[in-house]
Amino acid sequence: MNQVPSPVQPERFPKSNPGRAYATGFFSPEFTSLCPKTGQPDFGTITYTYTPAECCVELKSLKLYLQGFRNQGVFYEHLVNRLLDDFVAACKPVRCLVVGRFAPRGGITTSVTCTFGSATSANPSR
């Protein structure tokens, strides 16, 4: 059985311009996991938007962390909440928004949005 991704796997580096608040966004259009009921693959797009406090997340380590879910059976709602919780644990941002938009299954498209801090909700229909 494959190991579940570690919540501290994404590496960090010091934030540049420490006196300035700015948002950074990541877009991962090739996310895959497994349906915990059927074992069939789920496909989706994961988007992170965050305001770093003291450190930023390094992209290659985030990519490897996300790929760790490839063979994990997980419901969408649990997954997106886990992605947010692990991201917050890894870099302790001021605010963070994680959106998971998943390919249709049975004619239904699913979008899950989770926030930390004063992040505002994105439009899940986009």
Q: Which amino acid is at 121?
A: S
Q: Which residue out of 42, 91, 96, 114 is catalytically annotated?
A: 42
Is 42 annotated as catalytic? yes
Ramachandran quadrant class, 80 (left: phi over 0; alpha: psi -120 to 50; beta: rest): alpha
Q: Supply 104's token pair.
A: 């249709």
Which single residue is written with the structure tokens 């994105």?
122
Is 85 annotated as catalytic? no
3-state secondary structure 76-118: HHHHHHHHHHHHHHHHCCCEEEEEEEEEEECCEEEEEEEEECC
Which residues are tagged catalytic?
A: 35, 42
